[in-house]
Amino acid sequence: MQGEFLEQTIRSVLLQGYPNLEYLILDGGSTDGSRAILEKYSPWLAGWRCEKDSGQSAALNEGWVQGTGDVFAWINSDDWYQPGAFAAVAPLFRGPEFANWVGGPVDDCGRDGAFRKRHPAWPTPLDAALGYHDFGYYQPGMFWSRKLVEKVGPLDVNLHLCFDLEFWVRSLKAGFELRPVDTPIACFRQHPRSKTSSQLEEVILESREIFRRHSGRLSDADRRKSAKWLREYSADLVMQIVYRHLLHARRRAAVSWLLRELPTMIQLQPRRLLLGALWRVLVTGRPPAWIP
């Protein structure tokens, strides 16, 4: 867990004022002070543990098995819900226009919580989801019905970073569609120690595995289009990986990634920028200024 952020996450859930909340916290044995925080808030939790487990996706499956409610969600320990989030979402899970999958805007924030960018939610078709293109799915802002979870099945415990994408893809294949709301739902904290930021290599590998696993449902034309989008997405991540290797004086690793991913890198546009970036990395060992 991220002990320094955990209390804000917990309070963002409890202070929603939702009258029928069942809040479980499953920690993989953190040694960053998380246990003391969990003990402090234990009177308001439906359950908690702090012990070694088999990873995040397995822990989330454990929580969903224990949960007795009709609506499921999860929030990571460095993210938090915005005020009024549950009140905006809950009505959509009852009544004549019942939804099985609801999502709302998620704000990117810095380590200090300062706002950076808002990501609105919208339904994203299977080809775009597999290609990370024109994406409207952001995990902290999502909620699912028990019906959907039981039909789609548990999260894939063999995936450690992109298990949420794989779950969304299976939801789409099962005929479910996201119902978007306009109310801001959650905040995603961007910082160097977050899983997504620190393990981009595994994000690339897992996203490719998910594409191989599920793209057979697409037509030949949509599969080619989705594959192109995924290469473009991967190319952007490769440049970030190269940049980070260079920041830590790992020039050999940076060059290795560039050469290994050369077929992917040609997706960067315009290509003259790619050629300039390759030259600068190989000759000077420094990234170009335009790399994020």
Average pLDDT of the residues in 131-145: 94
pLDDT for 115: 92
Q: Is the dihedral of CA 258, 263, 268, 270 positive or negative?
A: positive
Q: Per-residue pLDDT for 67 more than 70?
A: yes
Classify residue 1 by its DSSP letter.
-
Average pLDDT of the residues in 179-206: 85
**Hey, what are 250's tokens?**
């790992």
The amino acid present at 66, given as its one-letter code, is Q
Q: Per-residue pLDDT for 289 more than 80?
A: no
- For residue 109, name the pLDDT band (cuts at 50, 70, 90): very high
Asked whether the bond before 270 is cis by omega within 30 degrees of 0, the reply is yes
> Tens of pLDDT along 270-284?
554 555 555 565 556
- For residue 17, name the pLDDT band (cuts at 50, 70, 90): very high
- Chain mean pLDDT for the chain: 88
Report the share of the chain in percent with pLDDT over 90: 65
pLDDT for 173: 97
Q: Where is average pLDDT lowest: 238-252, 256-270, 276-290?
A: 276-290
Q: Where is average pLDDT lowest: 63-67, 92-96, 102-106?
A: 92-96
Average pLDDT of the residues in 186-197: 75
pLDDT for 95: 81
Helix, strand, or coil (residue 213): helix
Average pLDDT of the residues in 192-216: 85
Q: Per-residue pLDDT for 55 more than 90?
A: no
| Sequence-separated (6 or more) residues with CB below 8 Å from residue 16 | 81, 83, 84, 85, 86, 87
- Please give the full DSSP string across 4-69, using - where no structure is assigned: HHHHHHHHHHHTT--TT---EEEE----SSHHHHHHHHGGG-SEEEES--S-HHHHHHHHHHH--S
Torsions phi, psi for 27 (to 5 deg): -110, 140
Per-residue buried b or exposed e for 105-123, using 16+ beta carbons within 10 Å of the residue's own CB: bbbebeeeeeeeeebebee
Average pLDDT of the residues in 259-288: 63
The CATH code of the domain at 3-198 is: 3.90.550.10
The amino acid present at 219, given as its one-letter code, is S
**In sequence order, what are the beta bridge partners of 48?**
25
Q: Per-residue pLDDT for 3 more than 90?
A: no
pLDDT for 165: 97
